[in-house]
Amino acid sequence: KYYPPDFDPAKIPKLKLPKDRQYVVRLMAPFNMRVGSWLDQPFPSSWSWGWLWAAWSRIPTLGGRAAVPPQTDPENTDYTMEHGATRNFQAEKLLEEEEKRMQKEREEEELNNPMKVLENRTKDSKLEMEVLENLQELKELNQRQANVDFEAMLKQHKEVEEEQRRKEQE
């Protein structure tokens, strides 16, 4: 940086800012949330996309108090809010809970009914067979595409064209 010889830092005016000013903060959270400690309004739905959304928000320093960020919850492999905000609707977590409930119901049903065990096994084996067939079809398709030699095809096409030209000239 260049400072001219007549530069005097004392002549620069001091910036006087209010003590209750607001800071612009880039806020990224792993889930949709409703901030309650300083705003009593939910974030607009247009700001929430996927599991990670970002929003520009203004956070006043209410006497040195600010919101606490989400804490990690390793037991449930999730995040928790201690205070300052509450979670909004979370479809993915509800879906996982529904799958767990369905699995538990199936296990309880199988304990009481041996015929249901047999039915479930046959369904599972059919599904596994279909998956294996689809996988085999995909492997065959990939092998067919991998075995195609495009250079040889172009060379053969050029030879056919040259032969046609010779016939036309004759």
pLDDT tens profile 11-23:
988 888 888 887 7
pLDDT tens profile 30-54:
777 776 644 444 444 444 433 333 4
**What distance in Å separates the CA atoms of residue 164 and residue 170, rounded to the nearest whole number?**
10
Question: For 110-136, what is the mean pLDDT?
Answer: 92
59 phi, psi to nearest 5 deg: -115, 105
For the chain, give the mean pLDDT: 77
Going by C-alpha positions, the residue among 1, 88, 3 that lies closest to residue 48 is 88
Task: Determine contact, residues 68/35, Cβ cutoff 8 Å.
Answer: no
**What distance in Å separates the CA atoms of residue 140 and residue 131, rounded to the nearest whole number?**
14
Kindly list the distances between the CA atom of residue 86 and the CA atoms of 7, 23, 78, 141, 149, in Å, as whole numbers in the listed order: 53, 22, 14, 50, 59
Supply the DSSP symbol for 11. G
pLDDT tens profile 76-86:
777 777 666 77
pTM for the model stands at 0.35
Of the candidate ranges 42-51, 102-111, 115-124, 160-169, the one whose mean pLDDT is the lowest: 42-51
